[in-house]
Amino acid sequence: MIKENKIYIGLKPIVHTLVFEMKKQKKKFIFFLIISIFIVFLQGVILQVTIPFNLLSDTQAEFFSSGLGFYSLISLFTACLLFSGIICSEFSTKTGFIVFPKINKYKLIIGSYLGNLVLAVIIISAYYFFLGLLGFYYYGGPINVRFFYSYFIAILYMITLSSFVTLFSSFMKSVNMTIISTILILLIGFQIADSIVTLVGGGNIEPLYSIAYMGNLITSILSNPFPDPRYFEMTMRNFTIGMWLTPSIEMGITLMVVFIIAYFVLAALLFKRRQL
């Protein structure tokens, strides 16, 4: 009983912070939730009704794949806006320098992170839920099992993005700088790096360092069979352009887990050093 009480007392601040953070981010959450649901119905209903020649995909899996075309962009902005203030906001508001805090600083950050992660997962789930409903409506049941694989990879991808943003939050001076930096790197930086590596390596180097590249697995896993080969070249006027389509399932999942652990460990070390 005493041990259970200690565990409860230890977890209580985290739970309170989690609930507080969810209330704090309510407006951002509602905004992204509405945008996500709107995009699903825009692609799956509105465009189907307003554009007669916009034919449905041949299979349910193809319909899901096309419907998830905007997911990476939504998840990117969701992660950058929700998780950008996890650590740096504690310093900008001076709570990071409290000598005798009422709550352990690490518990405060863990609670804040988990609160935002719950909101992000709800947004992902709503996106997939309504897309799944449309897929069931148009094609009947059962729902393709690969759709659920894609859902779990989408959650893993969101955690990867959130860990990356949290890492930047650990050493950036402000929330706005964290948002701008992470958006530019995730949206543009990785794409430029992928292009340079492809040109220099001639397609021999797979961009396994790229979080954006990992995100391709969300839609690629819906393909049956899985893309093979995963690299293709296109020649235009004696100029050959190469592109990697997706990481393998095993490699993609493994690397995202490795990224998550590495980013969180680095964020914790930088946070500790920043306090000192």
Structure tokens at 116: 């935002």
d(CA 96, CA 104): 10
With beta carbons less than 8 A apart as the criterion, state whether 111 and 15 touch.
yes
The residues facing 242 across adjacent strands are 233
d(CA 273, CA 90): 14
pTM to 2 decimal places: 0.86
pLDDT, residue 275, reads 65
The string of DSSP letters for 78-122 reads: HHHHHHTTTTHHHHHTTGGG-SS-SS-HHHHHHHHHHHHHHHHHH
| DSSP reduced 3-state for 240 | strand
With beta carbons less than 8 A apart as the criterion, state whether 19 and 25 touch.
no
First-to-final CA distance of the chain? 37
d(CA 207, CA 96): 37
Dihedral angle computed from the Cα positions of residues 168, 206, 218 and 147, in that order, rounded to the nearest 10 degrees: -150
Structure tokens at 34: 């509405």
pLDDT, residue 92, reads 54
| DSSP reduced 3-state for 241 | strand
CA of residue 24 relative to chain centroid, distance:
20
The residues facing 192 across adjacent strands are none
pLDDT, residue 65, reads 87
pLDDT, residue 6, reads 61
Q: What are phi and psi of 238, to 5 degrees?
A: 65, 15
Pairing relation of β-strands 239-244 and 231-236? antiparallel
Please enumerate, as own/partner, the contacts of 76-79 that have beta carbons within 8 Å and a separation of 24 or more: 76/161, 76/183, 76/186, 76/187, 77/32, 77/183, 78/32, 78/120, 78/123, 78/158, 79/120, 79/158, 79/161, 79/162, 79/164, 79/165, 79/182
pLDDT, residue 112, reads 87
d(CA 173, CA 91): 8
Q: In tens digits, what is the pLDDT along the chain, a chain of 276 residues?
A: 555 566 656 677 788 888 888 888 889 899 999 999 998 888 877 777 676 666 677 788 888 888 888 888 888 899 988 888 888 766 555 544 444 445 667 778 888 889 999 999 999 999 999 999 988 888 887 888 999 999 999 999 999 999 999 998 888 878 888 888 899 988 888 888 877 877 776 667 888 888 988 988 999 998 878 887 777 777 766 666 677 888 889 999 999 999 999 999 998 888 877 665
pLDDT, residue 99, reads 42
